[in-house]
Amino acid sequence: MESRQLVSVSKGRLAGNIVLALVIGALLPLVAVLQISLLPPVLMLGGIFAVRMQARAGWLPAAVLFGAALASTMWFLGEVMALMLLAAAILPAVWVMRGMARKRPFFEQMKWGVVAYALGLVVAMVTAYLSFGGRMIARFTDVLRAEFVRMPDAALQPFVEAINSALSLGGATGQRYTVALYREQLDGVLDLMQQTYAQALPGALLTGALLSGVISVFWGNWTMARQGRATNESFVGMTGWFLPAQLTWGLLGLWVAGLVLAMGGYSAGPTAYDATRSLACAGFFIQAMAALDRRMLRSGRELGRRKLLIGLLCAAGLLLPDAAVLLAVMGVASALFGSHGALKRPANPDQSDRDDPQE
């Protein structure tokens, strides 16, 4: 039975979420710069955290996060970047919250959440093009350089220590890195990476938009389910996630099309391949996580251990390209040959989420 009761929020929880919203909003420009510089899938974290806060403590903390994020982005990165944040993260998050409040069917929410973030990204990119013209990537590089100059030494020290630790493990006995040396070399690296950004950034942004839609819908509705405010239709756990056959073939076709463009010698071929590969890998990565969750459930793993392993694998998939590809390949096998696979019909559809074959 659908619960129509409003969430009861204590003053302490409300105050805590507002403080957290201010902190997250203030840090978002720094985190965005780090995401773009490292080129993992660029998650729209402002939208993701706002959806979570709205589900947990109501609209006020989400509105505070939006306001803090816009103000911080405008202060550090300028008005254009603030408009891009509004289009790519804030408006899609509001759309997701709307679907959650109306308790739409879960996979309908998922579909339209991904569409909202994708359209928001398109609007953000059009805004960037109208503002910066053909120098969009160069402008992004200039923004990164300016933000690294702004960063205090304490913020860069962990990266320096990580480099020194890696050098020590590798047997290097030369002079240790310092923050000053790191800054000097980083400036040259940014010049060299501008071409890399031109090729890889579109894929990182598109993949980040897809994953942001999935994470926002899942995390928000999961939070509502824990509070007893979701229905069997408005929230479905990962054990019930399967890529439809049409989407499986579509992602594989997209991947192959990008490869053909890359091998055809087109100037935009490498960029197209990187974007299509990233999108396909993201879709099959989600399928792999769902298949793994089903297997752990069947083997009797506790919920806490399942969540920990899934979280670690998600982090590895986001930060390590080789791990992402390996998990995507596992997802392809599951999407093709699993109980709901594109090449196999389940013998008993009503029990198919519990009788997946060896994936």
Closest CA relative to residue 97, chosen from 57, 42, 50: 50
Closest CA relative to residue 172, chosen from 181, 182, 180, 163: 163
Closest CA relative to residue 40, chosen from 261, 285, 243: 285
Q: Are 265 and 250 in contact (CB under 8 A)?
A: no
Encoded tokens for 102: 């109306």
pLDDT in tens, 251-278: 999 888 888 888 877 777 788 888 888 8
- Based on its alpha-carbon atoms, the radius of gyration of the chain, rounded to whole angstroms, reads 22
Q: What is the rounded CA–CA span in Å between residue 293 and residue 220? A: 19
Q: What angle do CA 342, 300, 107 make, to 5 degrees?
A: 40
Neighbour count for residue 103 (Cβ, 10 Å): 19
Encoded tokens for 138: 């160069």
Encoded tokens for 295: 């297997």
pTM of the model: 0.81
**CA distances in angstroms from 178 to 32, 162, 183, listed in the order given:** 24, 11, 9
Residues lower than pLDDT 50 in the chain:
1-5, 347-359
